[in-house]
């Protein structure tokens, strides 16, 4: 088959690149030192670097550890290379971030994709290569389409294009129900689908639920675009998904932190499919990639220089970090971000070729992220300050059950319009809006109790926190399994709105 020949040829073409990366995994300290020197030399050529008065690599510590707001005034001064464009990300707060992209940064993303692809081709026997890349449409008033393939250069996109399973006329789809319908029809038409690449696993479970609930309507629309055998399978309860897509070999999605339960659910739905956890990928840089033999995710150590902060703000390099210790990642990359706080927390699980594999633990203490919505404490604090309520205690908490959603806890009864007011404000966040419109998050709910502050305090003490370490915040970033931990408190007087 022509497709299988092309896939295998592509894999063989990438083998030298993969072998080179494997060699670098044997010497992570040396590889990182060489990259650090390259980044340092690049920084010294910029106006930003000249302001720091840097002379040698020993001055690395003079470079401040920064967040986006710190470098925003210097965006045009960060790199000597031409800036091709600024990639906009909604960020965790209300304001968008504009990340400069250069040819070198795009090459980093492409390198990650090529290494990942070669590893999969080497270990999996793909025949059709048909792949669905998660593409989020312009829903409601959102102003962009997000596509995994956008990170690839034109040559790779051209090579990949014949294998892509795409929703027709996607730019003109603005309603979530229309998108769900068209995506369901697209996936059901493709009997030879081999790969599904998504971010949050709930993106797929939501659409499988949609297919289950609307199977009769979908079958009527499919007509002759689905075989009689698959049509009959679609009418079974439960639907045998592995028989609907008998060629499916790989589902790539998040499988750490809050995504674990949903990923395990996917493993039950697709028992014979390899479900691989994604590496860490941010708009700012590609961070890690999964390799099958490594049984985990490895840092892209020849493209990004990594530093790690422990809970005491001690800073370590890649070769110095220890297993079972949480670290916040600090990155320096080839497009001009130096010692940049990415906002992710990881820990070492094991080693592969002398290089540590990481497990993603979650976001830093100021961000909540159930399904990719990335709500930031500052954003929530601003919203809570504008709410029409007399409550003195206000805290938004993430809940995992019965379906992921957020709850606002109050110490006085809320006005009837408060839930609508709050949901409207939350929908100003792009990622939250997408998750709500696609059904990955349920609407925000309200709960109030006169002793709400005491209930929250009691919960944290039960979790082992010391009284003096418990500080009220507008947003609790660690999710509760359900509201039962508060409802079942003995002095419970909690009302739901």
User: For residue range 244-296, what is the model confidence (pLDDT) as tens digits?
Assistant: 999 999 999 999 877 888 899 999 999 999 999 999 988 899 999 999 999 99
**Stretch among 123-137, 225-239, 259-273, 461-475 having the lowest mean pLDDT:** 461-475
Range picked from 225-234, 259-268, 379-388, 453-462 for highest mean pLDDT? 225-234
The reply to whether 283 falls in a domain is no
Please list the residues that pair with 102 across neighbouring strands.
none
Tell whether the model's pLDDT for residue 442 goes beyond 90.
yes
Alpha helices (H) in 288-409, listed in sequence order = 377-385
Q: Tell whether pTM > 0.85.
A: no
The reply to whether 452 falls in a domain is yes
The reply to whether 337 falls in a domain is no
The reply to whether 323 falls in a domain is no
- As a whole-number percent, the residues of the chain with pLDDT over 70 amount to 92
User: What is the rounded average pLDDT of the residues 35-63?
Assistant: 94
**Residues contacting 114, CB < 8 A, separation 6+:** 14, 17, 156
Tell whether the model's pLDDT for residue 305 goes beyond 90.
yes
pLDDT on residue 377: 86
| Domain extent for 427 | 367-496
pLDDT on residue 493: 42
Last residue of a domain, one of 239, 255, 277: 277
**Residues contacting 479, CB < 8 A, separation 6+:** 258, 368, 370, 397, 398, 399, 400, 404
How many domains does the chain contain in total?
2
Tell whether the model's pLDDT for residue 468 goes beyond 70.
no
Helix (H, G, I), strand (E, B) or coil at 120: helix
Run of H or E including 262: helix 260-269
Same structural domain, 101 and 227: yes
User: What is the rounded average pLDDT of the residues 432-439?
Assistant: 91
Last residue of a domain, one of 215, 243, 277: 277
User: What is the rounded average pLDDT of the residues 389-404?
Assistant: 90
CA 3/CA 215 separation, integer angstroms: 31
Tell whether the model's pLDDT for residue 298 goes beyond 50.
yes
The reply to whether 441 falls in a domain is yes
The reply to whether 320 falls in a domain is no
Q: Which residue has the higher pLDDT, 253 or 462?
A: 253
Same structural domain, 169 and 59: yes
The pLDDT tens digits for 77-117 are 999 999 999 887 754 444 578 899 999 999 999 999 999 99
Same structural domain, 255 and 398: no
Same structural domain, 128 and 28: yes
The reply to whether 221 falls in a domain is yes
Tell whether the model's pLDDT for residue 397 goes beyond 50.
yes
Same structural domain, 79 and 187: yes
Own/partner contacts of 34-38, CB < 8 Å, gap of 24 or more, are: 35/301, 35/302, 35/303, 35/304, 35/305, 36/60, 36/305, 36/332
Same structural domain, 94 and 231: yes
**Stretch among 143-147, 330-334, 489-493 having the lowest mean pLDDT:** 489-493
Same structural domain, 272 and 403: no
pLDDT on residue 492: 40
CATH (domain of 100)? 3.40.50
- Band (316; pLDDT cuts 50, 70, 90): very high
Tell whether the model's pLDDT for residue 145 goes beyond 50.
no
Own/partner contacts of 39-44, CB < 8 Å, gap of 24 or more, are: 39/305, 39/332, 39/333, 39/334, 39/338, 42/79, 42/80, 42/81, 42/334, 42/336, 43/338
Same structural domain, 56 and 196: yes
Tell whether the model's pLDDT for residue 436 goes beyond 50.
yes
Last residue of a domain, one of 243, 277, 311: 277
Dihedral (CA of 316, 357, 303, 368) sign: negative
The reply to whether 490 falls in a domain is yes
Same structural domain, 242 and 377: no
User: What is the rounded average pLDDT of the residues 286-308?
Assistant: 97
User: What is the rounded average pLDDT of the residues 128-150?
Assistant: 68
Sheet containing strand 250-253, strands side by side = 131-133, 195-197, 250-253, 274-277
- Band (24; pLDDT cuts 50, 70, 90): very high
Strand pairing report for 340-352 and 367-368: unpaired
The pLDDT tens digits for 152-206 are 778 888 888 899 999 988 888 888 889 999 999 999 999 999 999 998 898 999 9
CA 4/CA 2 separation, integer angstroms: 5
Dihedral (CA of 439, 379, 134, 240) sign: negative
Same structural domain, 273 and 376: no
Please list the residues that pair with 286 across neighbouring strands.
281
62 within 8 A of 52, measured Cβ to Cβ? yes
Same structural domain, 56 and 197: yes
**First and final CA of the chain: distance in angstroms?**
59
Tell whether the model's pLDDT for residue 474 goes beyond 60.
yes
- Band (488; pLDDT cuts 50, 70, 90): low
Query: What angle is formed at CA 392 by the lines to CA 386 and CA 397, rounded to 5 degrees?
Result: 75
Own/partner contacts of 275-282, CB < 8 Å, gap of 24 or more, are: 275/250, 275/251, 276/250, 276/251, 276/252, 277/253, 278/199, 278/252, 278/253, 278/254, 279/112, 279/116, 280/329, 280/344, 280/346, 280/358, 280/360, 281/112, 281/151, 282/342, 282/344
């Amino acid at each position: 088959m022509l497709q299988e020949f092309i896939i295998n040829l592509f894999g063989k073409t990438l083998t030298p690149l993969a072998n080179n990366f494997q060699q670098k995994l044997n010497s992570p300290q040396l590889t990182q030192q060489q990259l650090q020197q390259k980044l340092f030399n690049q920084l010294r050529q910029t106006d930003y670097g000249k302001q720091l008065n840097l002379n040698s690599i020993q001055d690395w510590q003079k470079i401040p550890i920064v967040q986006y707001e710190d470098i925003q005034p210097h965006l045009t001064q960060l790199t000597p290379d031409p800036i091709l464009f600024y990639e906009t990300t909604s960020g965790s707060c209300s304001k968008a971030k504009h990340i400069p992209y250069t040819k070198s940064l795009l090459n980093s993303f492409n390198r990650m994709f090529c290494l990942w692809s070669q590893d999969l081709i080497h270990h999996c026997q793909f025949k059709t290569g048909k792949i669905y890349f998660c593409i989020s449409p312009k829903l409601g008033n959102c102003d962009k389409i997000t596509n995994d393939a956008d990170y690839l250069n034109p040559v790779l996109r051209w090579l990949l294009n014949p294998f892509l399973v795409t929703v027709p006329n996607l730019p003109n789809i603005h309603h979530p129900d229309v998108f769900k319908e068209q995506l369901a029809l697209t996936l059901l038409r493709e009997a030879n689908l081999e790969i599904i690449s998504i971010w949050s696993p709930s993106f797929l479970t939501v659409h499988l639920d949609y297919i289950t609930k609307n199977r009769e309507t979908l079958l009527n629309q499919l007509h002759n675009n689905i075989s009689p055998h698959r049509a009959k399978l679609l009418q079974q309860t439960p639907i045998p998904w592995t028989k609907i897509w008998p060629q499916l070999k790989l589902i790539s999605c998040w499988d750490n932190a809050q995504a674990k339960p949903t990923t395990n659910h996917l493993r039950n739905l697709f028992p014979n499919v390899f479900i691989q956890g994604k590496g860490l990928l941010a708009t700012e840089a590609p961070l890690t990639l999964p390799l099958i033999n490594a049984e985990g995710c490895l840092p892209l150590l020849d493209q990004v220089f990594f530093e790690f902060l422990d809970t005491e703000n001690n800073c370590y390099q890649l070769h110095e970090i220890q297993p079972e210790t949480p670290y916040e990642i600090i990155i320096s990359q080839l497009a001009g971000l130096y010692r940049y706080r990415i906002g992710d927390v990881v820990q070492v699980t094991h080693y592969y070729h002398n290089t540590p594999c990481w497990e993603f633990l979650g976001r830093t203490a100021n961000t909540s992220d159930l399904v990719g919505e990335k709500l930031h404490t500052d954003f929530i604090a601003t919203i809570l300050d504008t709410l029409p309520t007399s409550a003195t205690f206000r805290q938004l908490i993430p809940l995992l059950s019965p379906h992921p959603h957020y709850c606002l806890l109050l110490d006085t009864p809320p006005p009837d319009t408060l839930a609508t007011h709050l949901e409207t404000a939350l929908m100003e966040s792009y990622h939250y809006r997408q998750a709500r419109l696609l059904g990955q998050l349920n609407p925000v709910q309200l709960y109030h109790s006169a002793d709400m502050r005491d209930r929250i305090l009691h919960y944290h003490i039960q979790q082992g926190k010391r009284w003096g370490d418990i500080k009220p915040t507008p947003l609790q970033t660690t999710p509760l399994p359900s509201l039962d931990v508060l409802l079942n408190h003995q002095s419970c007087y909690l009302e739901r709105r």
